[in-house]
Amino acid sequence: MRFITTSWDDGHPSDERLADLLGKYNLRGTFYVPQVNPGHRVMKEQEIAALSRRFEIGGHTLRHVSLKNLPAAEARQEIQGSYQWLKDIVGTDPVAFCPPFGDYSQESLSLIYEAGFQIVRTTELLSPYWSPGILPTTLQVYNHSSFTYLKHLVKRGRFGNMRLWYGTNFTADTFRLLDHYLEFIGTHGGCLHLWGHSWELDKFRLWRKLERIFSAISNLPGFSYVENGQLAKTVLT
């Protein structure tokens, strides 16, 4: 099984431009949207509903807060509130959830599944795999350094992913990484998962880079293009 998926956090109004670009290249994606975000603007509810008719909408808490150290009662309110709010807007049960900042605890993880979400998208990078209920990522559009990738992998103890990254001579070049992971997944199976934030694309002028990436991953033979939620019951063996 060879999959390509994308995901986009925070529900910024520039998600509409992003959705159009995904459509241009026949790509699928999941948009993780909070009700409010102190750091950035969020789409209006009618805009979220319109986007949901084209792409999957996932939970991202109500107030875009870290769940890692949040008291259980507040975490439950943020998670269950997000589930019900999205259900009311899009008219279907949401499947995927992304904790803001990639922060969560085992307790909050249990609360996410308890609320009805089936898969949790993390901010783990350089991964071509996923497991029941947990969906890491492969590449972020944002430009990371090799040191950042290394620190990220060591912090999470992902030494298998580090060995795979070693095959690139520990490059931080997005397009060399892209070629490496596409080749690996094409041979061994897995999922190429690209993610980012549309406000970040605006701020750092990454739209041209994103379109180059989309062109490179679009319409590849042997790959299935899916939304995050479609991987909830599909586990690579």
What is the secondary structure of 25-84 as a DSSP string? TT---EEEE-S--TTS----HHHHHHHHTTSEEEE--SS----SS--HHHHHHHHHHHHH
Q: Is residue 43 part of a domain?
A: yes
Count of structural domains, the chain: 1
Q: Is residue 17 part of a domain?
A: yes
Q: 32-57: buried (b, 16+ CB within 10 Å) or exposed (e) per residue?
A: bbbbebeebebbeeeebeebbeebbb
What is the average pLDDT across 147-175?
94
Q: Is the pLDDT of residue 65 over 70?
A: yes
Nearest to 4 by CA among 232, 223, 234: 223
Question: Which CATH number covers residue 117?
Answer: 3.20.20.370
Write the single-letter amino acid at 28: R
Q: What is the pLDDT of residue 155?
A: 87
Q: How confident is the model at residue 235 (pLDDT cuts 50, 70, 90)?
A: low
Per cent of the chain over pLDDT 90 is 95
Q: Is the pLDDT of residue 153 over 60?
A: yes
* 183, containing H or E segment: helix 174-188
Cα–Cα distance for residue pair 55/105, rounded to 1 Å: 28
Q: Is the pLDDT of residue 198 over 70?
A: yes
Q: Is residue 237 part of a domain?
A: no
Averaged pLDDT of the chain:
96
Range of the structural domain that residue 123 is part of: 2-225
Q: Is the pLDDT of residue 110 over 50?
A: yes
**In whole angstroms, how far apart are CA 225 and each of 9, 43, 100, 143, 222?**
19, 25, 25, 24, 10
Cα–Cα distance for residue pair 164/177, rounded to 1 Å: 10
The answer to whether 171 touches 150, Cβ cutoff 8 Å, is: no
Which residues contact residue 20 at a Cβ distance below 8 angstroms, ignoring those fewer than 6 apart? Answer: none
Q: Is residue 236 part of a domain?
A: no
Write the single-letter amino acid at 15: D
| Region of poorest pLDDT, from 101-115, 166-180, 202-216, 223-237 | 223-237
Q: What is the DSSP letter of 151?
A: H
Q: Is residue 232 part of a domain?
A: no
Q: How confident is the model at residue 156 (pLDDT cuts 50, 70, 90)?
A: confident
How confident is the model over 21-54, as pLDDT tens digits?
Answer: 999 999 999 999 999 999 999 999 999 999 999 9
Q: What is the pLDDT of residue 234?
A: 83
Q: What is the pLDDT of residue 87?
A: 98
Q: Is residue 52 part of a domain?
A: yes
Q: What is the pLDDT of residue 237?
A: 41
Secondary structure of residue 89 in the 3-state scheme: helix
Q: Is residue 235 part of a domain?
A: no
* Prediction pTM value: 0.96
Q: Is residue 207 part of a domain?
A: yes
